[in-house]
Chains A and B, each alone.
Chain A
Amino acid sequence: MTDGRPVVTLFYCVNALSRQTAQDLENAAEFEIRPVHMACSSMVKDVLLLKGFEAGADLVVVATCPPGQCQFIDGNSRARKRVERVRRLMDEAGLEGRRLIIIDRGLELEYAGILKEFESALE
């Protein structure tokens, strides 16, 4: 059950968000954030992104490390390709692919900046 706040499913690489930022996001007042932490953003599969929407998310976000900074070499670029593919499929199906976003600024982006990204995606 949701309480009326926009629901955001956040898949994030543990190296892309600090522990503090992740905790702050979980307690964000503006959004109901459903966090899914992963050892690497490449672990997110196409179907998991869609399951986020099936479970009621208004926005699905994948937070990755910045380009060229993945500990596992190309995990973040794999995640990006998946996000782009699913976004294209969603557009084809009339499901507003813009509701699926990727944030790839890693630890550089903090709590407020991330919320701003959510807000602009939901506009």
Chain B
Amino acid sequence: MIVAEQKKISEIIEMVSPYRKVLVLGCGTCVKTCFAGGEDEVAVLASLLRLAFEKQGNSKEISEFTIERQCEDEFIQEAAEAIGRNEAVLSLACGAGVQDIARRFKNVPVLPGVNTTFVGVMEDRGLFTEECLCCGDCRLGQYGAVCVLTRCAKKLSNGPCGGSRNGKCEVNPETDCAWQLVIDRMRELGQLDSLREYIPPRDWRTSNAGGPRKLFREDMVA
């Protein structure tokens, strides 16, 4: 999932200050799962904003709405009426959602309420960790489904570096050594020998270094 965290409330207050009617718009998929922008977070943030502006004597209308996904037109349309009633949208979706809402509603400022952080998983209750850089050239099959590009601090394609201690990374002792995980996994799979094979440097043209990437599926077009 895409992991995000809510911006500081002081930053949000400053952003929405110029507008009299603001819609706090939640997204019910990734950011809901990481407790940053689902229905519950929308309710809390909207309530805080109402109380804060009321205390300032600043009369504002803060309303709430949550759709299933802010990155799909089908769901975005459900918010059209609510967006139309407001002067600005405070979107709690990831960066893609914010931009998609802005693309559909050209006359309404769309402001980001969260910082989109990474693509990851919920490793434990309340703990989210990054697991994918979206490099565009997945090699997980060679590494026992552990992404060394994301999870090794040195991004070694041919590891380990030799600096880990007790299975932890020397760069950050709180992080598991990705190469230790690779080796453990490959051993369990009985494929440890395959790590003897040299893996050539990555072709970074598939990453976003050359600007935004596009994916076109001709078979999906009428």
- Taking a contact as CB atoms under 8 Å apart, the answer to whether A54 and B9 are in contact is no
Closest partner residue, chain A, to B126 (CB atom): A81
8 Å CB contact of B40 from A45, A92, A95: A45
- Taking a contact as CB atoms under 8 Å apart, the answer to whether B55 and A54 are in contact is no
B interface secondary structure, majority:
helix
Interface size on B (CB < 8 Å)?
15
The total number of A-B Cβ pairs within 8 Å is 40
Asked if A89 CB lies within 8 Å of chain B CBs, one says: yes
Given A54-B50, A89-B9, answer yes or no on A94-B55 (Cβ-Cβ < 8 Å): yes
Closest partner residue, chain A, to B56 (CB atom): A94
> Contact flags (1/0) for B19-59 with A, using CB distance below 8 Å?
00000000000000000000010011001111110011000
Asked if A22 CB lies within 8 Å of chain B CBs, one says: no
Closest partner residue, chain A, to B45 (CB atom): A89
Asked if A50 CB lies within 8 Å of chain B CBs, one says: yes
A45→B8 CA distance, assembly (Å): 20
Contacts of A45 in B (CB 8 A): 40
8 Å CB contact of B9 from A47, A51, A92: A92
- Taking a contact as CB atoms under 8 Å apart, the answer to whether B48 and A95 are in contact is yes
- Taking a contact as CB atoms under 8 Å apart, the answer to whether B55 and A95 are in contact is yes
8 Å CB contact of B47 from A50, A92, A94: A50
> Contact flags (1/0) for A85-115 with B, using CB distance below 8 Å?
0100110111100000000000000000000
Closest partner residue, chain B, to A92 (CB atom): B9
Contacts of A46 in B (CB 8 A): 40, 44
- Taking a contact as CB atoms under 8 Å apart, the answer to whether B10 and A92 are in contact is yes
Asked if A31 CB lies within 8 Å of chain B CBs, one says: no
- Taking a contact as CB atoms under 8 Å apart, the answer to whether B52 and A54 are in contact is no
- Taking a contact as CB atoms under 8 Å apart, the answer to whether B9 and A50 are in contact is no
Asked if B13 CB lies within 8 Å of chain A CBs, one says: yes
Interface residues of A (CB under 8 A from B): 45-47, 50-51, 53-54, 86, 89-90, 92-95
Interface residues of B (CB under 8 A from A): 8-10, 13, 40, 43-44, 47-52, 55-56
